[in-house]
């Protein structure tokens, strides 16, 4: 079966985040095993427990891993090697997403004129540099058996944020756009760097996801989407299964945009 990941392991960064747990379910549903990594020990432990109850016969490992530190990534890699576990699929999902809603005015932090170098470096390091470092470490190991690297981008990897959606004096930060556009560049680079090693690299660019946003913001954003709604949290699982399995065996360097049609306007 093209969608079968039997005996294969998928490492997910930022697994405790909003979509991280759905990515894990997507892999487990097609017979794969998962390695969940994050900096939030409490949430990742809760996720492991929940997934073990749902998928009793699957291997679900968790690791505290800082994607901005090469030694932290290498430590996980060495530990997996001792367990004789090969990472067949890497999902670069870790990111810092500055939330802008009706209750928190992030004007001083997010406005381009005011963004600090400290904030810029921190967010770029997690969302973009972290993906590069994880691809460097685990991608280098994939050269022996082949594998898949999937970068989680955004519809804002191909369009600019419409700042009027967020209300007066509220801005989506420049770091988010730079990171997501940068991930597409990373995807294309890796797709052409390791093709003879049977390593494929693609990106998934999801649109906005329902997550208790304010009514005014939701109303504005829905008007920008042809399908007139945001995605449900589980609506990207099939795309994850496609991109991480042999169902997409002839696809590499591609950015799969699933945004309800927002980016076509």
Q: Which residues are catalytic, by number?
A: 180
Nearest-5° Cα angle at 70, 66 to 71? 85
Q: How far apart are CA 151 and CA 179, in angstroms?
A: 11
Buried b (16+ CB within 10 A) or exposed e, 105-142: bbeeebeeeebeeebeeebbbbbbbbbbbbbebbbeeb
8 A C-beta contact, residue 170 and residue 110: yes
Buried b (16+ CB within 10 A) or exposed e, 203-225: bbbbbbbeeebeeebbeebeebb
Sequence-distant (6+) residues with CB within 8 A of 248 are 200, 202, 242
Q: In what order do the strands lie in the sheet with 87-92?
A: 60-64, 33-38, 9-12, 87-92, 147-152, 199-206, 255-258
End-to-end CA distance of the chain: 37
The 3-state DSSP composition of the chain as helix, strand, coil percent (nearest 5) reads: 45, 15, 40
């Amino acid at each position: 079966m093209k969608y079968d990941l039997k005996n294969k392991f998928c490492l997910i960064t930022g697994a405790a985040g909003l979509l991280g747990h759905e990515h894990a379910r997507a892999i487990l549903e097609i017979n794969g095993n998962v390695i969940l990594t994050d900096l939030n020990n409490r949430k990742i432990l809760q996720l492991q427990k929940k997934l073990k109850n749902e998928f009793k016969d699957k291997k679900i490992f968790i690791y505290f891993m800082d994607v901005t530190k090469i030694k932290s990534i290498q430590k996980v890699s060495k530990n997996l090697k001792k367990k004789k576990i090969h990472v067949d699929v890497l999902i670069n999902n870790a990111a810092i997403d500055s939330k802008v809603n009706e209750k928190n005015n992030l004007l001083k932090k997010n406005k381009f004129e005011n963004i600090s170098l400290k904030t810029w470096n921190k967010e770029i390091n997690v969302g973009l540099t972290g993906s590069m470092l994880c691809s460097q470490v685990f991608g280098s190991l994939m050269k022996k058996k082949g594998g898949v690297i999937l970068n989680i981008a955004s519809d804002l990897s191909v369009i600019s944020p419409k700042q009027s959606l967020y209300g007066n004096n509220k801005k989506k930060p420049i770091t988010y756009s730079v990171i997501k556009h940068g991930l597409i560049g990373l995807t294309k680079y890796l797709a052409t760097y390791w093709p003879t090693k049977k390593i494929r690299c693609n990106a998934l660019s999801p649109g906005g996801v329902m997550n208790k946003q304010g009514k005014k913001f939701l109303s504005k954003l829905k008007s920008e989407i042809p399908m007139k709604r945001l995605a449900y949290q589980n609506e990207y699982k099939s795309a994850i299964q496609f991109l991480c399995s042999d169902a997409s065996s002839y696809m590499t360097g591609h950015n799969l945009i699933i945004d309800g049609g927002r980016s076509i306007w």
